[in-house]
Amino acid sequence: MTIEVTRFLGRTGVPITPLTLGTMNFGRWQSEAESLRIIDAALDAGITSIDTADVYAQGVSEEIVAKAIRTRRDRLFLATKFHGQIGDDPRQSGNSRRWITQAVEDSLRRLGTDHLDLYQAHRPDENTSLLETLQTLNSLIHQGKIRYYGTSVFPAHLQVEAHWLAEKYGLIAPHTEQLPYSLLVRGAEREVFPVVQKYGVGVLSYGPLAAGWLSGRYRVGGEQPESARAKLIPGRFDVTAERNQRKLAAADALAHLAEDNGLTLVELSIAFALNHPAISSVIIGPRTQEHLEAYLKAATVDLPDTVLDRIDEIVDPGTHFLERDTGRDTPSLQPAALRRSR
């Protein structure tokens, strides 16, 4: 099965496929050989955009991508990110001018290219002026090292601040936002989506299967599914934990809804994410050819209003089950901000 370019990346006018290949697993949970096979298969199927990050396997993911795209670079929309710590030195992280100017050179070298189509701040940096970050990224555009820049998991108020700063100081405003969005993680609908739509920001959503909760294996009465993520952060996946009971019930109800409509839960999940008008492309992370084929098929599914209405009954619009599912640790919700010092 193949996929076609049917969308545009926000206000950029750049044509993009509904699915973007994500590479977080490459070099970490997938071997180089497996990763190269998946990249080749995805590109052969028509996917035109690849998303990676310098922190993925500490640069190994970018190096694997470089090997796979060497002869196809000009036909691809290549995105990577900065912010996460590289190595043991905390100075090799963040959104400062000092680190961004070094990090971009490192990513260009690892990816074997002279420019990045999209460079993204992987997370907000409360220790760095947002203006400094925007000015540095604007400079990289003028130098020709990046074509566009974006943010990842930036809350609505930072989106507004970024566009206000850009207007005030005559800068190019962010072009994209990357965030988690799925049937079980719908918080972005409340504030972020209205803001990014107002400013013409393209959204690259990730986690359409909610880190495996929507794979079809999480069912009421079923056994605890095993996965690398579940072992790494068990609290988010323990089906016996009280905090996860409502999520498990919702995942089970969504699985029944998919079955009742002749779909797999994967198809329902991908189609749901693609249905929102704020979404430019959904990032997928297939580990096998079978996974890739399932995602490609899902991208062709149209959901009727009756199904979308039933989804809203199962999971209220604009909500999520765990704060950590939003992809960030919100500073104002941390214990130090909530409790008085004694």
Reply yes or no on whether 148 is catalytic.
Answer: no
Count the alpha carbons within 13 Å of 136 in the hemisphere toward its beta carbon: 22
Q: Is 84 left (phi over 0), alpha (psi -120 to 50) or beta?
A: beta
H-only helix segments in the chain: 32-44, 60-69, 97-111, 130-143, 156-169, 192-199, 228-232, 242-260, 265-275, 289-298, 305-314, 335-338
The single residue of 56, 149, 218, 295 carrying the catalytic annotation is 56
DSSP letter for 73, please: G
Helix (H) or strand (E) holding 205: strand 202-206
Signed CA dihedral, 266, 268, 269, 270: sign only: positive
Helix (H) or strand (E) holding 141: helix 130-143
Task: Give the separation between CA 36 and CA 84, rounded to whole angstroms.
Answer: 24
CB-based contact 254:265 (threshold 8 Å): yes
Q: Give the active site residues.
A: 56
